[in-house]
């Protein structure tokens, strides 16, 4: 079993601690509720321009317009946007190795690019280096919490959770389960997989800000016996998450129907196995019907929408409006490497384009809510992350409103808040990030060594 990862290096953090009482000045934007579809003005939004956010011992205690007294250390970021850290609801840690790979749809892409990349992470050295590289990349893109798939190798999950723990991050992850239809080096077996999961759960689940996800790659790569084992783990401890893929690609749907002929739908495979529950996180969910939507809503499961990946792989156009009307929680996901960036702004911009192709218009408010408070609520973590509510961990990012002549001109001409934020969402990316804090501790600063 691995020892915990060392503390973050200077390349990932400009400091290893934070003052006990910190006041951060900027344009504070978060949500107090869920914005309605299509509304550009909403009471769900909380915008406090030029305010001080008060952070004590890593948690938010309030906000105010007036300057704090001398008992507070101050950081003046006036004229900059301050948001809760983004939450990536589905992302593959090892796949930054093969991001932006050419010319394949989902099933061929797995064989040609994904599986070879993941095989490398069976080696301890690569797993450790890759975990550090991945979590630092998340922070450098403004993502402070995530639901993550490592690889089938226990060492990969151990390294990932250790790296997140060293940085104080909220991370949900678990070793991937695959016992068929994958290269031998990526296949486990039911007995050994259960043993590995139990050891990882004992070590990491509920440790500080970490949680374990029983991680079925997707139904075709697990036998019914492995699905049953995964369900038994979830039933034994209802605080565990379930993380898998669902209805991403039409060829995948046909394959699932051949492998599980007794199931009504792809979702029904998981439901029959006992894997549809309140802590289930299903990536993609494009090819679903009304009965699937009703089942997801009834069980309180969340769909992690991965628009960049869906466009890049040609998987299909996600029907967000139908899920929203059906009461299904939707959170945002980069998916990398099917997606082409860890940047949540680029992901949200692609989400807008997907909805436009469906004849819908995604507001900045609905989009940002799904990457912050909405994702936190869907994951059962709204008490901790996703907003500037008093008591939440101070996971937050400071952003430039605009970078470069085009964005600066567009920002200067914006006359309404939604117009300004929508333009920021479309034009910004990780280059706009000034600083990222996790529980009040600065873990990334633009211009610091290595960043």
Query: What's the average model confidence in pLDDT over 183-195?
Result: 96
Among 393, 360, 361, CA closest to 18: 393
Share the mean pLDDT of the chain. 95
pTM: 0.95
pLDDT at 11 > cutoff 60: no
**What pLDDT, on the 0 to 100 scale, is given for residue 1?**
32
**What pLDDT, on the 0 to 100 scale, is given for residue 167?**
98
pLDDT at 3 > cutoff 60: no
Query: What's the average model confidence in pLDDT over 373-383?
Result: 98
**What pLDDT, on the 0 to 100 scale, is given for residue 8?**
37
CB count within 10 Å of CB 283 equals: 27
- Per residue in 161-181, pLDDT (tens digit) is 999 999 999 999 999 999 999
How far apart CA 147 and CA 437 sit, in angstroms, is 18
205-208 long-range contacts (CB < 8 A, ≥24 apart) are 205/237, 205/239, 205/240, 206/239, 207/165, 208/165, 208/168
Lowest mean pLDDT among 121-125, 298-302, 379-383: 121-125
- Per residue in 391-414, pLDDT (tens digit) is 999 999 999 999 999 999 999 999
- Per residue in 418-444, pLDDT (tens digit) is 999 999 999 999 999 999 999 999 999
Q: How confident is the model at residue 6 (pLDDT cuts 50, 70, 90)?
A: very low
How far apart CA 91 and CA 435 sit, in angstroms, is 22
**What pLDDT, on the 0 to 100 scale, is given for residue 195?**
98
Query: What's the average model confidence in pLDDT over 14-20?
Result: 70
Q: How confident is the model at residue 10 (pLDDT cuts 50, 70, 90)?
A: very low
- Per residue in 98-140, pLDDT (tens digit) is 899 898 888 888 888 889 989 999 999 999 999 999 999 999 9
**What pLDDT, on the 0 to 100 scale, is given for residue 5?**
36
Name the 3-class secondary structure at 210. Answer: strand
- Per residue in 304-337, pLDDT (tens digit) is 999 999 999 999 999 999 999 999 999 999 999 8
Q: Tokens at residue 256, please?
A: 């699932």
Q: How confident is the model at residue 449 (pLDDT cuts 50, 70, 90)?
A: low
Q: Tokens at residue 254, please?
A: 């046909």
- N-term to C-term CA, the chain: 31
Helices and strands in the chain: count of H runs, count of E runs: 16, 16
Residues 6+ apart with CB under 8 A from 141: 86, 341, 342, 343, 344, 430, 433
Residues 6+ apart with CB under 8 A from 68: 23, 52, 54, 74
**What pLDDT, on the 0 to 100 scale, is given for residue 15?**
43
How far apart CA 301 and CA 307 sit, in angstroms, is 19
Residue for token digits 């911009």? 349
Query: What's the average model confidence in pLDDT over 344-364?
Result: 98
Largest CA distance in the chain: 68
Check residue 4 and give left, alpha or beta (phi > 0: left; psi -120 to 50: alpha): beta
Query: What's the average model confidence in pLDDT over 194-200?
Result: 98
Q: How confident is the model at residue 7 (pLDDT cuts 50, 70, 90)?
A: very low
Q: How confident is the model at residue 16 (pLDDT cuts 50, 70, 90)?
A: low
- Per residue in 28-42, pLDDT (tens digit) is 999 999 999 999 999
Domains for the chain: give ranges and CATH numbers. 21-84+394-445 (2.30.40.10), 86-378 (3.20.20.140)
Q: Tokens at residue 423, please?
A: 């333009």
Residues 6+ apart with CB under 8 A from 105: 249, 251, 313, 314, 315
Q: How confident is the model at residue 9 (pLDDT cuts 50, 70, 90)?
A: very low
**What pLDDT, on the 0 to 100 scale, is given for residue 2?**
35
Query: What's the average model confidence in pLDDT over 254-279?
Result: 98
């Amino acid at each position: 079993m691995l020892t915990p990862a060392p503390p973050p290096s200077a390349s990932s953090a400009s400091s290893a601690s934070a003052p006990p009482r910190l006041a951060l000045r900027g344009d504070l934007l978060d949500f107090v509720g869920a914005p309605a579809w299509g509304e550009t003005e909403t009471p769900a939004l909380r915008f406090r321009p030029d305010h001080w956010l008060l952070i004590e011992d890593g948690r938010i205690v309030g906000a105010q317009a007036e300057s704090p007294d001398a008992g507070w250390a101050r950081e003046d970021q006036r004229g900059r946007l301050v948001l809760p850290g983004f939450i990536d609801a589905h992302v593959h840690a090892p796949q930054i190795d093969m991001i932006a790979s050419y010319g394949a749809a989902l099933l061929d892409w797995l064989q040609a690019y994904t599986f070879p990349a993941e095989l490398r992470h069976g080696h301890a050295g690569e797993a450790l280096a890759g975990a550090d590289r991945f979590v630092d990349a998340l922070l450098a893109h403004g993502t402070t919490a995530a639901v993550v798939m490592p690889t089938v190798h226990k060492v990969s999950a151990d390294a990932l959770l250790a790296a997140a723990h060293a940085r104080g991050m909220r991370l949900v992850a678990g070793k991937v389960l695959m016992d068929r239809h994958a290269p031998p080096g990526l296949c486990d077996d039911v007995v050994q997989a259960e043993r590995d999961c139990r050891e990882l759960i004992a070590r990491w689940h509920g440790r500080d800000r970490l949680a374990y996800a029983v991680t079925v790659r997707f139904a075709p790569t697990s036998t019914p016996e492995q699905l049953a084992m995964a369900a038994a783990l979830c039933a034994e401890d209802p605080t565990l998450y379930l993380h898998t893929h669902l209805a991403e690609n039409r060829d995948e749907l046909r394959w699932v129907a051949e492998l599980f002929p007794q199931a009504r739908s792809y979702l029904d495979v998981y439901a029959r196995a006992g894997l549809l529950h309140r802590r289930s996180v299903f990536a993609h969910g494009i090819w679903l019907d009304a009965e699937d939507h009703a089942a997801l809503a009834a069980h309180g499961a969340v769909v992690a929408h991965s628009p960049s990946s869906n466009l890049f792989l040609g998987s299909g156009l996600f029907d967000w409006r139908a899920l929203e009307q059906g009461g299904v929680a939707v959170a945002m996901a980069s998916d990398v490497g099917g997606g082409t960036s860890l940047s949540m702004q680029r992901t949200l911009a692609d989400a807008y384009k997907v909805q436009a192709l469906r004849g819908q218009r995604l507001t900045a408010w609905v989009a940002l809510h799904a990457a912050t408070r909405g994702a936190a609520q869907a994951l059962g973590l709204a008490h901790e992350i996703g907003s500037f509510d008093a008591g939440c961990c101070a996971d937050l990012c400071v952003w430039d409103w605009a970078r470069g002549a085009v964005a600066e001109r567009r920002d200067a001409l914006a006359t309404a808040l939604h117009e300004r934020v929508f333009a920021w969402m479309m034009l910004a990316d990780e280059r706009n990030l000034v600083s990222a804090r996790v529980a009040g501790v600065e873990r990334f600063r633009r211009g610091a060594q290595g960043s």
